[in-house]
């Protein structure tokens, strides 16, 4: 039972507030020798610009590369909007350096969350966005901005599409055997290219029901009939946009975690939202996205679904009791929600222990 090495990047604005919550829950669930780990906190994003003049200092990158998993809260904000190298550039760089090409963003409306969802949902909603994360218009060159015009480049190489497509289809076989490719193949060359390549790979998965949707229509369906989706496969920019939209139909963007993974090396776990400068310092940030990121890490990087389940059960319990932050219409603080999650974990452990004497 080796000690798990976890890099911790708290980042900016609400980043440190929710990271503290995530680490407290990790500590609680690990108690009594249940999980051995060591954390390595490093500056990242705006905090690292202030400390070291670079959003991704070499030391931070090295720590991440040497770790078994990485926890990241959120970076960026108005303080660095005019920086020469913005915090966001550090985020893109770490994704690229660690080759984290697949970003998994779950959208599920649990029974506990139902009352907070802004949409009508008779049928269960449970889908996953598989977002390509290290290519597309985020990384394509040339990129230029002059006085008269600006230029970005959307480029995809065949291998970049193939590897994420295989991952999406494999994931579908462990879920409900349905993949939807979201693109703009009626306009974009890159999208037509995706369709060809994904269509070919789909033939290797006859048990998987494969369909496609244009991104504008997909944005509509996520609101009107989200129960039709299982695995949404899409490129970088569309995945960014659709994942915030999908998060919000569950009740709050502040509750959704994500995992970014490559073919080997450490995976990175982070909320899908940003640093929420508008609410930073008020102690009211929803910690659930970060706490769920911790659960996702335990399940996926450390094969500890048992601990992840304890955490998600506790979150559902606390949500049902309506101990929630203002993003979900409640009055609880970040610290109160975190404390309630921890008590719920402890109570369940205690009653399990007393039931089994």
Decide: is 76 part of the binding site for ligand IPM (CB under 6 A).
yes
Beta bridge partners of 308: none
Please identify, using beta-carbon distances, which residue of 76 and 106 lies nearer to ligand IPM: 76
Taking contact as CB under 6 A, which single stretch among the options 39-47, 88-96, 169-177, 215-223 is the one that binds ligand IPM?
88-96
Question: Catalytic annotation on 138?
Answer: yes
DSSP letters along 293-340, please? Answer: HHHHHHHHHS--HHHHHHHHHHHHHHHHTT---GGGT----HHHHHHH
Q: Which of 240, 286, 317, 327 binds Mn ion (CB under 5 A)?
A: 240
Least separation, in Å, of the C-beta of 203 and ligand IPM? 31
The least CB distance from residue 273 to ligand IPM, in Å, is: 8
- State the Cα–Cα distance between residues 186 and 190, nearest whole angstrom: 11
Tell me which of 240, 317, 327, 336 binds ligand IPM, using CB under 6 A.
Answer: 240
Q: List contacts with ligand NAD (CB under 6 A).
A: 18, 74-77, 88, 91, 253-254, 270, 273-279, 285-286, 289, 325, 327
Backbone angles phi, psi at 230, to 5 degrees: -125, -70
First-to-last C-alpha distance (Å) of the chain: 27
Where helices occur in the chain by DSSP H, the ranges are 14-30, 46-52, 58-66, 87-97, 158-173, 189-202, 215-224, 236-249, 288-301, 305-320, 334-355
Please say if 204 is a catalytic residue: no
* Residue 304 site contact among ligand IPM, ligand NAD, Mn ion, none (CB < 5 to 8 Å, cut-off depends on kind): none
DSSP assignment of 79-130 equals GGTT-SS-HHHHHHHHHHHTT--EEEEEEE--TTTGGG-SS--SS--EEEEE
- Residues 272-311 binding ligand IPM (CB under 6 A) are 272, 274
Catalytic residue among 204, 211, 216, 278: 216
Residue closest to ligand IPM, measured at CB? 88
Tell me, yes or no, if 183 is annotated catalytic. Answer: no
Positions marked catalytic: 138, 184, 216, 240, 244
Footprint of ligand IPM (CB under 6 A): 76, 88, 91-92, 240, 272, 274
């Amino acid at each position: 039972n080796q000690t798990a090495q976890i890099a911790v990047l708290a980042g900016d604005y609400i980043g440190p507030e929710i990271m503290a919550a995530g680490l407290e829950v990790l500590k609680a669930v690990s108690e009594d020798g249940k999980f051995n780990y060591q954390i390595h906190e490093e500056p990242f994003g705006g905090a690292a610009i202030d400390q070291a003049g670079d959003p991704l200092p070499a030391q931070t990158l090295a720590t991440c590369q040497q770790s078994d998993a990485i926890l990241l809260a959120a970076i960026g904000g108005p303080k660095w909007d005019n920086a020469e190298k913005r915090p966001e550039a550090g985020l893109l760089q770490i994704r690229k350096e660690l080759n984290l090409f697949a970003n998994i963003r779950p959208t599920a409306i649990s029974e506990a969350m139902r009352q907070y969802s802004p949409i009508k949902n008779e049928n269960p909603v449970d889908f996953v966005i598989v977002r390509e994360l290290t290519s597309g218009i985020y990384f394509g060159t040339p990129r230029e901005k002059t006085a008269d015009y600006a230029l970005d480049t959307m480029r995809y190489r065949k291998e970049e599409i193939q590897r994420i497509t295989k991952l999406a289809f494999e994931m579908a076989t462990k879920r409900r055997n349905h993949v939807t490719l979201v693109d703009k193949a009626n306009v974009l060359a890159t999208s037509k290219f995706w369709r060809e390549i994904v269509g070919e790979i789909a033939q290797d998965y006859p048990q998987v029901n494969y369909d496609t949707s244009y991104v504008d229509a997909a944005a509509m369906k996520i609101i009107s009939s989200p129960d039709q989706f299982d695995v949404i496969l899409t490129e970088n920019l569309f995945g960014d946009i659709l994942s915030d939209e999908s998060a919000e139909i569950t009740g709050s963007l502040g509750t959704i975690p994500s995992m970014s993974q490559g073919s080997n090396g450490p995976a990175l776990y982070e909320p899908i939202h940003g640093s929420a400068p508008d609410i930073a310092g008020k102690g009211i940030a929803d910690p659930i996205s970060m706490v769920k990121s911790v659960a996702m890490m335990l399940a996926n990087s450390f094969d500890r679904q048992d601990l992840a389940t304890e955490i998600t059960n506790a979150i559902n319990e606390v949500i049902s009791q309506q101990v929630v932050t203002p993003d979900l219409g409640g009055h609880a603080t970040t610290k109160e929600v975190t404390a309630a999650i921890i008590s719920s974990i402890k109570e369940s452990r205690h009653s399990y222990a007393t039931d089994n004497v």
